[in-house]
Amino acid sequence: MTLRHLKIFVAVCEYGSTTKASKALYIVQPTISHTITELEKYYKISLFERVNQRLVLTEIGTNLYKKAKEILAGYEEFEALAISSSENPRVRIGASLTLGQTLIPRFLEIIEKNKYNISPQVLIRQSTRIEQELEESNLDFGVISGNYSSPHLKGIPISHEKFVAICHVDYPISSTLTFKELSEQPLLIREHGSSSRDFLEKLALERNITLSPKIDSSNNQAIVTAIKSSVGIGFLPENYVREYIDTGVFREIEVSDIVANQTNYLVIHKNKRLNPLQQQAFDVIKNLQ
């Protein structure tokens, strides 16, 4: 087996057909099919099943796809380091949505200010997506709000985050509510998979409460805009709305029976080895205060 076998196998996995993989790799389709057959015969396994004219990975195929991605990513890192050393360093960083709006700009500012020879490529998505990209070796490391679930990753706590219930300063509501009372208000909250929504859902589940938000948004700023319009109560990370609270635009509501804190993590695949420049970027984020 060679790296060529792995590259073809990964391409077929990602495109779902030998025809599409052949176009992407500029290799004739029979060669693609023959390579997959070689792999299956050599290891005496079945990598794909054909379902509705599409190739679907078997269980062993799925596991080998993840390993193949790790091997190819390692090879690319070796090659990049060997060829260009630090001339055009690439650091692929993932960030969950809130940290992408708060922590990553600070990181980029430090990189620019200190003229580090690093070219960060940042992917900002939900935490679950960042975990997936780390598992598949598409990212070097990531920052995630709240707990991570993948057994293939390891994390370092880097900060603590507080969530706050907020409303417009003129919104007619008491300054102190219980969680049940909060849940009965018109809530303006993030979508499932976001750290603040997952935190709320966990609390609601523990109390046998069903949340029925008035606004369910994938964007923090959309919720901020809705709060400004006095249409309900938001629930967001404090560091994202602190400026609005300090300037008197928003009012914080105390939720008397919960502690709304969580830990943020700097996360990396357990098998990942960082090159010196990736390690430098990793350390900058780890030491951010």
Per residue in 27-63, pLDDT tens?
888 898 999 899 889 899 998 888 877 788 899 989 9
Asked whether residue 68 falls in the same domain as residue 198, the answer is no
The larger pLDDT score, comparing residue 115 to residue 224, is at 224
CATH of the domain at 46: 1.10.10.10
Does the pLDDT at position 7 exceed 60? yes
Asked whether residue 142 falls in the same domain as residue 168, the answer is no
Q: How do residues 157-199 score in pLDDT, each as one tens digit?
A: 998 888 999 999 999 999 999 999 999 999 999 888 787 888 8
**Which of 83, 106, 141 is where one domain is finished?**
83
**Which of 64, 83, 102 is where one domain is finished?**
83
Helix (H) / strand (E) element for 233: namely strand 233-237
Q: Most distant CA pair in the chain: distance in Å?
A: 71
Please name the amino acid found at residue 203.
Answer: L
**pLDDT confidence tier of residue 243, bands split at 50, 70 and 90:** very high
Does the pLDDT at position 89 exceed 70? no
CA distances, 111 to each of 66, 115, 200 (Å): 32, 6, 35
CATH of the domain at 250: 3.40.190.10
Kindly give the interhelix angle for 59-84 and 3-15, rounded to the nearest 10 degrees. 120
Asked whether residue 76 falls in the same domain as residue 98, the answer is no
Asked whether residue 251 falls in the same domain as residue 175, the answer is yes
Asked whether residue 111 falls in the same domain as residue 132, the answer is yes
CA distances, 167 to each of 125, 228, 236 (Å): 26, 8, 11
Which pLDDT does position 154 carry in this prediction?
A: 94
Q: How do residues 247-273 score in pLDDT, each as one tens digit?
A: 999 999 999 998 888 889 999 999 888
Which pLDDT does position 231 carry in this prediction?
A: 95
Q: Which residues contact 220 (CB under 8 A, 6 or more apart)?
A: 97, 98, 101, 190, 236, 237, 240
Which stretches of the chain are DSSP H helices?
3-15, 18-25, 29-43, 59-84, 97-113, 127-135, 179-183, 195-206, 220-228, 238-246, 276-286
Asked whether residue 130 falls in the same domain as residue 71, the answer is no
The closest alpha carbon to 215, from 227, 199, 198, 201, belongs to: 227
Asked whether residue 270 falls in the same domain as residue 148, the answer is yes
Asked whether residue 96 falls in the same domain as residue 234, the answer is no
**pLDDT confidence tier of residue 82, bands split at 50, 70 and 90:** low
pTM above 0.75, yes or no: no
Q: Report the 3 state secondary structure along 129-187.
A: HHHHHHHCCCCCEEEEECCCCCCCEEEEEEEEEEEEEEEECCCCCCCEECHHHHHCCCE
Asked whether residue 59 falls in the same domain as residue 109, the answer is no
Average pLDDT over every residue of 88-100: 84
Average pLDDT over every residue of 110-118: 88
Give the pairing type, strands 187-190 and 250-255: unpaired
**Phi/psi of residue 122, nearest 5 degrees:** -110, 130
Does the pLDDT at position 84 exceed 70? no
Asked whether residue 219 falls in the same domain as residue 275, the answer is no
Average pLDDT over every residue of 72-77: 80
The closest alpha carbon to 140, from 151, 130, 149, belongs to: 130
Average model confidence (pLDDT) across the chain: 88
Measure the CA–CA gap between 47 and 78, rounded to whole angstroms.
Answer: 28
Which pLDDT does position 23 carry in this prediction?
A: 86
Asked whether residue 196 falls in the same domain as residue 240, the answer is yes
Asked whether residue 239 falls in the same domain as residue 203, the answer is yes
Measure the CA–CA gap between 275 and 91, rounded to whole angstroms.
Answer: 9
Please name the amino acid found at residue 231.
Answer: V
**Which of 24, 48, 83 is where one domain is finished?**
83
Which pLDDT does position 85 carry in this prediction?
A: 52
Which pLDDT does position 127 carry in this prediction?
A: 87
Give the pairing type, strands 54-57 and 48-51: antiparallel
Identify the domain containing residue 60 by its residue range. 3-83
In the chain, the number of structural domains is: 3
